[in-house]
């Protein structure tokens, strides 16, 4: 009997889709497949959904159960390399955390017109805070390539865009006579409150998938967002927001270390055997 072989390369989420297609083509349910390869149903569900990249022995077990061959020259699994932007994002988050303390305080004084600081100090604090936060948010966006969450991804991009727009508005207000920060300050605060609430829902979407830490961060961020959006309780919203941002930093570095410390396959070549 002659076998013909079709070779192709894939990685997640294509890998999960291929496993799902092969399983369905054989008329197997997920429960029936796990019985063949000694895995649990939740693992199969996450692999097929593209949420995780399985280890080499798991892939082999799955494809053996599905009569599917892995090319002999592509079974090597390399140590996962952590993108440098994730570490840069974490460092920027720490920088933002401290710079924002000065920026929020100085902006409050500036809006009331009762301030004694030099304008260059205010501009510097605002610039460092924005750049740090932008890199921190972008670091989180890149981190979601490893911890999938489409809702949170959209919320983070929204926050990044809104932060950029208000930073431009602040620069124009400080260096031109077009308008003053006080003219739109309440709208600005409320819009940030909305974005924080949006982000909070995004973290809650993890449920208990990677422990309960994302859920706690989500709850704190959501509460902070609601308080800040209300305007009247914006100052109180800074308390849960501070706790949430510390949680974000902690979760970020924890997940980064998990990426660097676990083995995950890169693009894999597969050979399908046909009788």
Q: Are residues 150 and 124 in the same domain?
A: yes
Do residues 71 and 102 both lie within one domain? no
Residue 50: pLDDT band (50, 70, 90) is: confident
Domain boundary among 44, 76, 108: 76
pLDDT in tens, 219-268: 999 999 999 999 888 889 999 999 999 999 999 999 998 876 544 444 45
pLDDT in tens, 98-116: 999 999 999 999 998 888 8
Q: Are 93 and 62 in the same domain?
A: no
- Specify whether 71 is located in the same domain as 129: no
- Rounded Cα distance, 243 and 226, in Å: 15
Q: What is the pLDDT of residue 262?
A: 44
Cβ atoms of 19 and 272 closer than 8 Å: no
Tokens read off for 125: 């604090």
Same domain, 48 and 171: no
Closest by CA to 241, choosing from 197, 206, 191, is 197
Find the domain containing 101 and state its range.
84-260
Least confident of 11-15, 118-122, 158-162: 11-15
Within a domain: residue 265?
no
Average pLDDT, the chain: 84
- Compare 142 and 72 and report the one with higher pLDDT: 142
Provide mean pLDDT across the span 11-19. Answer: 79
Token pair of 68 as six digits: 């599917």
The total number of structural domains that make up the chain: 2
Tens of pLDDT, residue by residue over 133-185, are: 999 999 999 999 888 899 999 999 999 999 999 999 999 999 999 999 999 99
The string of DSSP letters for 222-253 reads HHHHHHHHHSTTHHHHHHHHHHHHHHHHHHHH
Q: Which of the four pLDDT bands, split at 50, 70 and 90, describes residue 70?
A: low
- Res 261: pLDDT: 52
Cα atoms in the 13 Å half-sphere on the side-chain side of 23: 21
254 and 126 fall within a common domain: yes
| Model confidence, pTM | 0.69
Same domain assignment for residues 98 and 215 = yes
Show which of 47, 76, 105 is a domain's final residue.
Answer: 76
Residue 273 lies in a domain: no
pLDDT of residue 163: 97
Answer left, alpha or beta for residue 113, where phi above 0 means left and psi between -120 and 50 means alpha.
left
């Amino acid at each position: 009997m002659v076998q013909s072989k079709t070779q192709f390369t894939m990685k997640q989420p294509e890998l999960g889709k291929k496993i799902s297609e092969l399983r369905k083509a054989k008329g197997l349910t997920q429960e029936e497949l796990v019985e063949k390869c000694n895995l649990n149903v939740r693992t199969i569900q996450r692999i097929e959904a593209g949420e995780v990249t399985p280890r080499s022995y798991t892939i082999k077990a799955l494809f053996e159960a599905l009569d599917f061959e892995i090319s002999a020259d592509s079974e090597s699994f390399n140590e996962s390399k952590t993108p440098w932007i994730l570490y840069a994002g974490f460092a920027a988050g720490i920088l933002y955390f401290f710079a924002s303390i000065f920026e929020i305080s100085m902006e409050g004084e500036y809006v009331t017109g009762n301030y004694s600081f030099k304008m260059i100090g205010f501009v510097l604090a605002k610039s460092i805070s924005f750049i740090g936060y932008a890199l921190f948010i972008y670091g989180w966006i890149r981190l979601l390539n490893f911890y999938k969450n489409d809702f949170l991804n959209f919320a983070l991009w929204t926050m990044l865009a809104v932060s950029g727009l208000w930073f431009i508005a602040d620069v124009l207000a400080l260096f031109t006579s077009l308008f003053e920060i006080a003219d739109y300050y309440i709208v600005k605060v409320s819009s940030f409150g909305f974005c924080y609430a949006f982000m909070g829902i995004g973290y809650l979407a993890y449920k208990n998938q990677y422990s309960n830490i994302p859920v706690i961060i989500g709850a704190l961020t959501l509460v902070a967002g609601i308080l800040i959006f209300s305007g009247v309780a914006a100052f109180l919203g800074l308390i849960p927001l501070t706790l949430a941002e510390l949680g974000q930093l902690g979760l970020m570095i924890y997940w980064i270390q998990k990426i660097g410390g676990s083995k995950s396959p890169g693009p894999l070549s597969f050979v399908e055997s046909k009788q």
